[in-house]
Chains A and B, each alone.
Chain A
Amino acid sequence: DQQVKQNSPSLSVQEGRISILNCDYTNSMFDYFLWYKKYPAEGPTFLISISSIKDKNEDGRFTVFLNKSAKHLSLHIVPSQPGDSAVYFCAASEKSSGDKLTFGTGTRLAVRP
């Protein structure tokens, strides 16, 4: 069963506007959530994370929001830049099971100049 879901396989946004990527999860034991960014032929790179005790974490242009009651998190990129074009993976971990990550299927973001 897919415990982490990204229902939008792709998203296209105009440069300078906001990009919002969404992620839903089903396992209430997850206590850490992360976003990874992946370019073709490269491994994923860590972008931003949030602990389940918080509802928002901000790092420059990137903000992650967590709604535990809805089991939903989102990544906001403001302003979007062409270099942000990549595949974004949502991931979650359950500390009691070590730091192994459960990933979503990814959302391909295209930022149009």
Chain B
Amino acid sequence: GAGVSQSPSNKVTEKGKDVELRCDPISGHTALYWYRQRLGQGLEFLIYFQGNSAPDKSGLPSDRFSAERTGESVSTLTIQRTQQEDSAVYLCASSLEPYWGYNEQFFGPGTRLTVL
């Protein structure tokens, strides 16, 4: 079946512009995560959606970052007034509903964002 898809694969923008990144999770996956990986760093958690629960936004680095998810499908991550330090690969992952043990997170290929 189809995996997690993300678009665009690459995005170059000018400092101060807004950008919107899209994630299509695996069908049936109720949990959706956004991470980012800056150059030379590990993956950094940003936000987590689980079903109809309030999202866990504890990883968002500033109020310029926001994300939405429509039901249990598409999610968009929006970065307003982009800064050069926002340059990173933004990764989306989805998983089945976590209830016990650990549910594998399936990652998309990421969106490489470059802020000039």
List residues of A whose CB falls within 8 A of some B CB: 4, 6, 32, 34, 36, 41-46, 49, 51, 89, 91, 93, 95, 97-106
Nearest chain-A residue to B108 (Cβ)? A43
Is the CB of B1 closer than 8 A to any CB of chain A? no
Q: In the complex the two chains form, is B45's CB within 8 Å of A102's CB? A: yes
A98–B103 alpha-carbon span in the complex (Å) = 11
CB of A32 within 8 A of CB of B43, answer no
Contacting pair B45 A43 (CB below 8 A): no
Q: How far is the CA of A49 from the CA of B77 in the complex (A)?
A: 28
- B50 part of interface (Cβ distance < 8 Å): yes
Q: Are B59 and A43 in contact (CB under 8 A)?
A: no
In the complex, 13 of the A-B residue pairs with CB atoms within 8 angstroms, ordered by the A residue number, are A4-B42, A32-B101, A44-B91, A49-B102, A98-B98, A99-B31, A99-B33, A99-B95, A99-B105, A100-B33, A101-B33, A101-B105, A105-B40
A51 to chain B: which residues have CB within 8 Å?
101-102
With an 8 Å Cβ cutoff, the count of chain B residues facing the other chain is 28
How far does the alpha carbon of A95 sit from the alpha carbon of B100 in the complex, in Å? 8
Interface check B20, CB cutoff 8 A: no
A6 closest partner in B (C-beta)? B42
In this complex, which of A6, A42, A103, A104 has the most chain B Cβ atoms within 10 angstroms of its Cβ?
A103
Of all chain B residues, which has the CB nearest A2?
Answer: B42
Known: A44-B43, A104-B42, A105-B41. A99 touches B109 (CB 8 A): no
| Chain B min CB distance to A77 (Å) | 19
Closest 4 CB pairs of A and B: A43-B107, A103-B42, A103-B43, A105-B42
A97 touches B91 (CB 8 A): no
Given contacts A46-B105, A46-B106, A101-B105, 16 further A-B contacts (CB under 8 A): A6-B42, A32-B101, A34-B102, A43-B110, A44-B107, A46-B104, A49-B104, A89-B43, A91-B43, A98-B48, A98-B56, A99-B31, A99-B33, A99-B95, A102-B45, A103-B35
